[in-house]
Amino acid sequence: METYPETLKTRLNDEAFEFRRDSFLAFLKTPIRSFKESPTVSEYVQVTDKDLERMLYGEFRQTPRNPQFIKEANIKVLNGKVESLENLPEGVEVLDLVEASKDSEIRSRFLDNSHLGDDRTEFLINSAWQRGLFVKVDKNVKADITVHNLSNGSDSYAYKTVVSCGVESKLNFTEVNESLSDGDAVQGKNIYFFQDEYSKVQFNYVQDKSLSVTDLSFVKSYQSRYTEFQIFHINHGGSRVIFGNESQQFGDSSDYRVYGVSFSDGKQKIDIRDSSFQTGKSSTADIHVRGVVKGLSSTIHRGNIDLEFEAVNATGFYDSKILLLSKEGYANSKPGLMIKNSNTKSKHGSAISNVNEEEIVYLRSRGIDEQTARSMITEGFVSYVIEKSNSEFMKKRIQQYTEGNILGTMGKD
């Protein structure tokens, strides 16, 4: 890390330099979590500074030929670089983020110091992104966009996407992140949504990378008044996974809804963080996450409902449930409420449970084999999330994973 300031001055000395520099300083000032903070910190996903250093400098190797993208993709991205743009809706503009950052208006609105981040790793990604996308949706535009992001499992790098949603726009945005090959890469990604008044976003997110890749992803929505942001997220692949998702509900009557599912197996370690930060009056946050744990893997759910002093008449709800399908697996749920005024409604709930063996016996007595029985129980467990999604693509992916597919589809559908 000591030589990175010099890298900033040379290789990354672009129009976003000041933002990169300030983000790196924020990273340096943020302490690593101490084991004294909580007895369960030792079970969190551990990513060392040595790991982050590989992401910081980037390691790009030769990309396999003829990658297979899903047929739904409008935007095809290979190792962070756009391969093609197809059938983009009218009123939607897509630019390389490096090129977009040359525009002073874009820099001042989307790359200023108020958007540095909250997490130590998020700070570093904001400093180090080598590649990225800028997506602009004009006001009053209704658009469906699918991004398929394929990467080498051996290539470490940082990536960033910025999405701007105009007044009264409606965006259905799907992003699928998969690996083309095995490898021990460390890949970081920040995805930021900026919503003007009355805009609506549904974000469908899938992460299904190689089981040897470390995936570090942070999603953040900046909500103006009367905006709606709904996210369906699925994490299935990756050896070590940190997925952070947070709303910044500055606008009055903004609405934020989360439906997430994670599947861990083998020796995977997954850390899911869904949180709201509410200052808008009468704002609403509703978070529901499910985790399925197999093998020697571990899954942790952490999230905060943060209702600030200004957020009068606001509501916040956090609901976490994890299903243990293995005696050797580990699960932990740590929801938190941070309530700073009395004129709000908030609550949280969490549960960790094992498979009821009597249910397995009952299903097997009806001629169903054990693997199918466990898949049926798993599907029932995540059915609440499935029912809330209006995306057939997401429903199909969840069905594949509940049926026991361990590795991802590796760019095929």
DSSP 142-186: EEEEEEEEEE-TT-BEEEEEEEEE-TT-EEEEEEEEEESS----E
What's the pLDDT at 387? 82
Q: Average pLDDT in the 190-201 region?
A: 98
**What is the overall mean pLDDT for the chain?**
90
Name the DSSP letter for residue 41: G
Q: Are strands 131-137 and 330-339 parallel, antiparallel or unpaired?
A: unpaired
**For residue 105, with 0-12 CB atoms within 10 Å meaning exposed, 13-18 middle and 19 or more buried, which class applies?**
exposed
What's the rounded Cα separation, in Å, for the pair 159 and 92? 21
CA separation for the pair 364, 371 (Å, rounded): 10
228-264 pLDDT, tens digit per residue, is 999 999 999 999 999 999 999 999 999 999 999 999 9
Residue 200: enclosing H or E segment and its boundaries? Answer: strand 200-208
| pLDDT (tens digit per residue) in 316-367 | 999 999 999 888 999 999 999 999 999 999 999 999 988 877 888 888 888 8
Pairing between strand 284-293 and 330-339?
unpaired
Per the CB < 8 A criterion, the answer to whether 190 and 215 are in contact is: no
- 3-state class of 321 per DSSP? strand
Neighbour count for residue 3 (Cβ, 10 Å): 10
- For 145-166, the pLDDT digits (tens) are 999 999 999 999 999 999 999 9
Ordered DSSP codes for 360-389:
HHHHHHTT--HHHHHHHHHHHHHHHHHHH-
Q: In this predicted structure, which of 56-70, 219-233, 289-303, 395-409 has the lowest mean pLDDT?
A: 395-409
Buried b (16+ CB within 10 A) or exposed e, 204-229: bbbbbbbbbbbbbbbbbbbbbbbbbb
pLDDT surpassing 70 at residue 41: no
